[in-house]
Amino acid sequence: MNYTFIALVENKPGVLNRVASLFRRRNFNIESLAVGRTENPEVSRMTVVVDCPNGDMDAHKIEANLYKLVNVIDVQDVTRQPSVTRDLALIKIKVGPEKRAEVNGLAEIFRAHIVDVAFDSVIVEITGTEDKIEGMIELLRPLGIVEMVRTGQVAMTRGLTDGVRRVQGVTGNRYEDVSEMAEMAP
Amino acid sequence: MKKTGAEILWECVVREGVEVVFGYPGGANMPIYDAMLSYPIHHVLVRHEQGGAHMADGYARASGKVGMAMGTSGPGATNLVTGIATAMMDSVPVVFVTGQVAAHLIGGDAFQEVDMTGITLPITKHNYLVTRADEIAEVVREAFYIARSGRPGPVLIDICKNAQVESCEFEYPENVKLPGYQPVDHSPKEALENAVKLIEKAQRPVILCGHGVLVSKAEEALMNFAVKTQTPVASTLLGLGAFPASHELSLGMMGMHGEVHTNLAIQNSDLILAFGMRFDDRVTGTLKTYAPHAKKIHVEIDPSEIHKNVAVDVPLVGDLKTVLTDLVPMVDEYDHEEWKKQINEWKSEADARSIMNWPDDGKLYVPHLIGDIWKATGGGAIVTTDVGQHQMWTAQYYAFDKPNRWLTSGGAGTMGFGLPSAIGAWFANKEQEVWAVAGDGGFQMTAAELTTAVQEGANVKVAIMNNSFLGMVRQWQEFFFEKRYSAVNMLSPDFVKLAEAHGVPARRVTKREEVDEAIAWARSIKGPTVIEFKVEMEDAVYPMVPAGAALDQMLQRPVKK
Ligand SMILES: Cc1ncc(C[n+]2csc(CCOP(=O)(O)OP(=O)(O)O)c2C)c(N)n1
Ligand SMILES: [Mg+2]
């Protein structure tokens, strides 16, 4: 089963490499990984979707291992949390003028947009959950997809609730605390 | 005040309490070596960077302080890699400082450029690439803090040459800011109460004492817990010495070459108290049948070790000493007479087979020699080893009563660790007697450090257990490959002449009656010595749990006819 984690990490060079290397080293299978800035310039946010064949046991392993990375500030599992997840895809379809209307119709149903029109192709932009995007791709496929790119999922819990934090003793470090994190005397 | 990056490095290193550094210079760290001359640092010039890494490791294990080793960029840095991995696998705090090409050259395949932070990513607790002088102070402060706190480990600082020579304003950072790094120290009360409930019900409890007991300095807390609850204590390879071997509750070593009664106790226990250990495959045997009747309490500072190999009933994440100190007043006194009696019966059955009871048959056996060294040194020496049969025999027969005297490469199993780690340990305490028990194979991997020992006057006693074989591999070929010996037959140089060529007094021993005198001779000399023991070539380490077998499926030493 796929689990979705949100990790807050220090915005420093090489941190993405550390996370990716960890997943490879510990044999975790990444389904999707998206990284971006947050409202705090010192913090980046990763949404990682990982296949966890052993369920919560694997999720515990992933969280605990992420915390071993010195630059990882917080890890939440939002898999079963009410949350908004979004993926964005750009899909290029080989269609001439005669079939554009068909694409347009599909796009409307999925609330997607045509963002580029050329003589022999169009680019459709769609945002939504995995399922929705998969659904649209299936319908577009017969028309001739020539190129596709997806950002990977990003996620955010609804309301002010957090995800699950399994790792004992590690208290979740909320976003806003990070910049004024107590300095630790070694 | 303005200082160069290299000066700032030493300003900070000296403030961390470092007095001795093991290293090797080269183009990319020359400014560091130049600045070092102005600081109260004793530098040990090693013969190979791997040797330096193991020395810093041995120093750290013996002293409980952070060790420090250095190398230049490229090959100097990659020569450290085995030593870094060795420290990582055994959670040893060492800070490694390597030179790197100038920042503007990085990525261009410059002379002696190697991506060290990339290479060491999986074998360090953390690492840094420093491109500017003004980063150095904070990085060094963080590196030492990370290396020694929580679950300790190696930290590498790769410093670009320009950062070493450039100057900047130096102000010592009293604190470091590490928002993502917060080792847990104690477990919550409710978790402890859950542990107490299991302890109350237990009839056949066993403590598994790991390296974490030593790291956390929890020896006394462990003793209090074990005595109050009368729980027998089995040790991992690296946990030896944390609980006195001579104590009536001590079961000695567990695992692949653990004692019979110890493994039987674990397999038959109804409660396992795992203290600062990680259920390595070398101590569990196959997990399918591991301690099938036991509930498990796991006290461990690294949350990623919880449920990693063995799912446990009560995990207690925290510093072992703190957790045990909190736990002791919460538990009742027990006697567990029946259980201890059962274990003792197993023990006397196994003892009947012990090689220690064999009469002298004119051959030299490593277990006997270890017993002799133990007797001569009053059991109080620091003992290091290489990896192989001699390592297991030393673990089995040098009964460690005191902590931090037993230095061996457990997790990585690094041959060549013995001599350099002994030199490092000697620097930790120059009054302390230090023995390196070496294999003929392992010794040849780092033998060049003999000269380092001479140059430094390091008072280390090397005992080479020469069986003319890569003995442990030979043993596996004997047991599991129908005695088809492949690449284990090892020609060695004349070790006595080799030692003497290094300026090290040396002797060869072939008979048991020469042993005591040779040991006494070595001990009487101040400075390094070598004794080569020509030992039985095809003896095997027993008991042995074959890889993948259940922990109680042990091959035992055949009874001597
Ligand atoms: C660097 C390294 N290479 C290979 C091995 C595999 N290995 C484990 S034990 C052993 C034999 C060691 O022989 P020796 O040093 O003579 O010790 P003995 O087992 O004979 O006591 C070997 C080759 C290892 N542990 N480390
Ligand atoms: Mg050998």
Helix (H) or strand (E) holding B469: none
Burial class (CB in 10 A: 0-12, 13-18, 19+), B194: middle
Average pLDDT rounded to a whole number, residues B485-495: 97
Domain assignment present for A178: no
Query: A77 and A91 share a domain?
Result: no
Q: What pLDDT, on a 0 to 100 scale, did the predictor assign at position B253?
A: 98
B475 lines ligand 1 (CB under 6 A): no
Handedness of CA A85, A90, A95, A98 (dihedral sign): positive
Query: B276 and B219 share a domain?
Result: yes
Contact B304 A21 (CB under 8 A): no
Top mutation candidate among B84, B415, B495 for ligand 1, by most atoms within 8 Å of CB? B415
- What is the B441 CA–ligand 2 centroid distance (Å)? 5
- What is the B424 CA–ligand 1 centroid distance (Å)? 21
Handedness of CA B530, B532, B538, B544 (dihedral sign): negative
Domain assignment present for A142: yes
From CA A60, how far away is CA A172, in angstroms rounded? 14
Query: B420 and B294 share a domain?
Result: no
Q: Which two tokens stand for residue B518?
A: 């040779």
Contact B141 A168 (CB under 8 A): no
CA distance A12 to chain B (A): 11
CA distance B192 to chain A (A): 13
Query: A146 and A164 share a domain?
Result: no
CATH of the domain at A134: 3.30.70.1150
- What is the B470 CA–ligand 2 centroid distance (Å)? 4
Interface test with B, best of A16, A18, A22, A68 (most B CBs within 10 A): A68
C-beta separation of B141 from A186 below 8 A: yes
Look-up of token digits 């799912």: B311
Q: Which atom of ligand 1 is nearest to the CA of B442?
A: 15
Query: A30 and A121 share a domain?
Result: no
Q: What pLDDT, on a 0 to 100 scale, did the predictor assign at position B436?
A: 98
- Assess B513–A contact: CB distance below 8 Å, yes or no: no
C-beta separation of A126 from A150 below 8 A: no
Angle between helices B418-428 and B449-456 (to 10 degrees): 20
Domain assignment present for B181: no
Q: Which two tokens stand for residue B15?
A: 């403030």
Question: Residue A169: left if φ>0, alpha if ψ -120 to 50, beta else—which one?
Answer: left
Chain A residues lying within 8 Å of B145, measured CB to CB: 184, 186
Query: A42 and A90 share a domain?
Result: no
Tell me phi and psi for residue A31, to 5 degrees: -90, -40
pTM (2 d.p.): 0.96
From CA B298, how far away is CA B272, in angstroms rounded? 8
Q: Which atom of ligand 1 is nearest to the CA of B467?
A: 20
Contact A71 B180 (CB under 8 A): yes
**Of the partner residues B175, B178, B311, the one whose CB lies closest to the CB of residue A70:** B178
From CA A103, how far away is CA A116, in angstroms rounded? 12
B463 lines ligand 1 (CB under 6 A): no
B83 lines ligand 1 (CB under 6 A): no
Q: What is the DSSP letter of B146?
A: H
B535 lines ligand 1 (CB under 6 A): no
Q: Which two tokens stand for residue B385?
A: 């080893």
From CA B488, how far away is CA B473, in angstroms rounded? 7
Helix (H) or strand (E) holding B160: strand B155-160
Domain assignment present for B549: no
Query: A25 and A78 share a domain?
Result: yes
Average pLDDT rounded to a whole number, residues B48-65: 98
Contact B187 A169 (CB under 8 A): yes
Query: B98 and B134 share a domain?
Result: yes
Alpha-carbon dihedral B341, B346, B347, B349, rounded to 10 degrees = 130
Using omega within 30 degrees of 0 as the cis cutoff, is the peptide bond preceding B543 cis? Answer: yes
- Assess B17–A contact: CB distance below 8 Å, yes or no: no
Give the model confidence (pLDDT) of B87-116 as tens digits: 999 999 999 999 999 999 999 999 999 999
B419 lines ligand 1 (CB under 6 A): no
Query: B326 and B217 share a domain?
Result: yes
Residues 267-326 of B with CB under 8 A from A: 302-304, 306-308, 311, 315, 317-318
B154 lines ligand 1 (CB under 6 A): no
Q: What pLDDT, on a 0 to 100 scale, did the predictor assign at position A183?
A: 37
| Type of residue at B199 | I
C-beta separation of B175 from B93 below 8 A: no
Domain assignment present for A68: yes
Domain assignment present for B546: no
Domain assignment present for B176: no
CATH of the domain at B416: 3.40.50.970
Please state, in angstroms and as integers, the Cα–Cα distance from residue A168 to each residue in B6, B185, B295, B301, B362, following that order: 41, 11, 19, 10, 58
Cα B536 versus chain centre, distance: 27
Q: Which atom of ligand 1 is nearest to the CA of B390?
A: 21
Query: A58 and A73 share a domain?
Result: yes
From CA B329, how far away is CA A152, in angstroms rounded? 52
In this predicted structure, the answer to whether residue B261 has a pLDDT above a threshold of 80 is yes
Q: What pLDDT, on a 0 to 100 scale, did the predictor assign at position B561?
A: 63
Contact B175 A186 (CB under 8 A): yes
Query: A6 and A51 share a domain?
Result: yes
Q: What pLDDT, on a 0 to 100 scale, did the predictor assign at position B30?
A: 98
Q: Who's near A58: CB < 8 A, 6+ residues apart?
A: A3, A28, A50, A52
| Type of residue at B54 | H
Chain B residues lying within 8 Å of A67, measured CB to CB: 180, 303-304
User: Mean pLDDT, chain B, as a whole number?
Assistant: 97
Contact A184 B307 (CB under 8 A): no
Query: B321 and B401 share a domain?
Result: no
Query: A11 and A58 share a domain?
Result: yes
Q: Which residues of B are the active-site residues?
A: 49, 111-112, 161, 472
Give the model confidence (pLDDT) of B316-375 as tens digits: 999 999 999 999 999 999 999 999 999 999 999 988 889 998 888 889 999 999 999 999
Reported ipTM: the value is 0.92
Domain count, chain A: 2
Q: Which two tokens stand for residue B50?
A: 């791997």
- What is the B485 CA–ligand 1 centroid distance (Å)? 14
Q: How much of chain B, in percent, has pLDDT values that exceed 70?
A: 100
Domain assignment present for A186: no
Query: A144 and A75 share a domain?
Result: no
Q: Whose CA is nearest to atom 18 of ligand 1?
A: B471
Contact B126 A57 (CB under 8 A): no
Range of the domain at B149: 2-169
Query: A59 and A130 share a domain?
Result: no
Q: Which two tokens stand for residue B10?
A: 């030493």
CATH of the domain at A52: 3.30.70.260
Give the model confidence (pLDDT) of B425-461 as tens digits: 999 999 999 999 999 999 999 999 999 999 999 999 9
Q: What is the DSSP letter of B526?
A: S
Q: What pLDDT, on a 0 to 100 scale, did the predictor assign at position A181?
A: 36
Q: Which residues are close to ligand 2, an ion, with C-beta < 5 A?
A: B 439-440, 467, 469, 471
B414 lines ligand 1 (CB under 6 A): yes
Average pLDDT rounded to a whole number, residues B180-203: 92
Q: Which atom of ligand 1 is nearest to the CA of B445?
A: 1
Q: How much of chain A, in percent, has pLDDT values that exceed 70?
A: 90
Query: B421 and B528 share a domain?
Result: yes
CA distance A142 to chain B (A): 44
Cα B201 versus chain centre, distance: 35
C-beta separation of A174 from A184 below 8 A: no
Enumerate residue ranges in chain A where pLDDT < 50: 169-186
CB burial of B48-61 (b: ≥16 within 10 Å; e: otherwise) equals bbbbbbbbbbbbbb
B388 lines ligand 1 (CB under 6 A): yes
**For residue A155, which of A126, A124, A128 has the smallest C-alpha distance?**
A128
Domain assignment present for B547: no
Q: Which two tokens stand for residue B549?
A: 């077998």
Query: A30 and A6 share a domain?
Result: yes
Beta strands A83-93 and A145-150 are antiparallel
Cα B198 versus chain centre, distance: 32
Alpha-carbon dihedral B112, B113, B118, B123, rounded to 10 degrees = 20
- Assess B128–A contact: CB distance below 8 Å, yes or no: no
Using omega within 30 degrees of 0 as the cis cutoff, is the peptide bond preceding B179 cis? Answer: no
Please state, in angstroms and as integers, the Cα–Cα distance from residue B318 to each residue in A56, B216, B276, B315, following that order: 22, 10, 10, 10
Range of the domain at A140: 83-150
Query: A36 and A77 share a domain?
Result: yes
Domain assignment present for B184: no
Q: What residue spans of B502-560 are helical by DSSP H?
A: 515-524
Domain assignment present for B331: yes
Domain assignment present for B227: yes
Please state, in angstroms and as integers, the Cα–Cα distance from residue B223 to each residue in A148, B168, B300, B340, following that order: 64, 51, 17, 17
Q: Who's near B270: CB < 8 A, 6+ residues apart?
A: B201, B202, B203, B204, B205, B293, B294, B295
Using DSSP's 3-state secondary structure scheme, residue B404 falls into coil
From CA B106, how far away is CA B223, in angstroms rounded? 53
Domain count, chain B: 3
Query: B409 and B477 share a domain?
Result: yes
From CA A185, how far away is CA A183, in angstroms rounded? 7
From CA B133, how far away is CA B169, in angstroms rounded? 9
Query: B447 and B465 share a domain?
Result: yes
**For residue B411, which of B162, B206, B239, B221 has the smallest C-alpha distance?**
B239
Tell me phi and psi for residue B252, to 5 degrees: 75, -155
Query: B440 and B494 share a domain?
Result: yes
